[in-house]
Every structure is written in structure tokens, then in C-alpha cells.
Amino acid sequence: GLYVILGEKSFPKAGDSLGGPEMTRLLAELSGEYDLVILDTSPLLVAADATALGPIVDGVLLVVRAASADRRTQAEVVRKLTDAGASIIGTVLNDPDGATS
């Protein structure tokens, strides 16, 4: 009962297309068909995907590498998402011991 759609490698100005009407229609269609739709994006400070998708999804769950995240960077991420109109619903802290490089 799990379906996965893989995306292509990133392309210039991907953020412009992701927040557009075609993506909004696709998400509405998928939401009508499936109980839960999860989108995994590149890190916010690396690509604009999360900023573009944030306003058109029900909520954003931040995933933070606990061992290497600093408060200033996380505050910037939250500011960018909220400025874009995203609703942040929570945060997951992973890699607390810094075991992942």
C-alpha cells in the first residue's frame, strides 16, 4: 500500500515550477486519491524547493541534524518558510551524536 514517485535531478529554477498551479492541481488530485502525501525536498538553504512547496501543502515537518545544527541557521530556515507562507507543524531531530557525515 505504499506508492513512491521519484523526482528527477534538480534543475535551474525548480522552485518556480514547484509552487505553480500544475503542482497545486497535482497535490489536490493525489490528496483525493491517497490518505497521506509526503514530499521530501532538498535542504532549504541548498535549494528553494521547500520554500516553493511550503505554502501549498498542509504542513512542513523540519528535519534537523541535531549534532551540527546551530540556532542561527535554524532560525533562518524557520523565517524563510514562514515568510513564504508555510505552516511548520514540527521538527524531527536526527543524528544527535554526529555519527552521520
| Residue 60 three-state SS | strand
Cβ neighbourhood burial of 99 (10 Å; 0-12, 13-18, 19+): exposed
pLDDT, tens only, 22-36 = 999 999 999 999 999
Q: At 30, which amino acid appears?
A: L
Quote the pTM value.
0.80
- The confidence score (pLDDT) of residue 90 equals 95
User: Is residue 8 pLDDT above 90, yes or no?
Assistant: no
pLDDT, tens only, 44-91 = 888 888 899 999 999 999 999 888 888 899 999 999 999 999 999 999
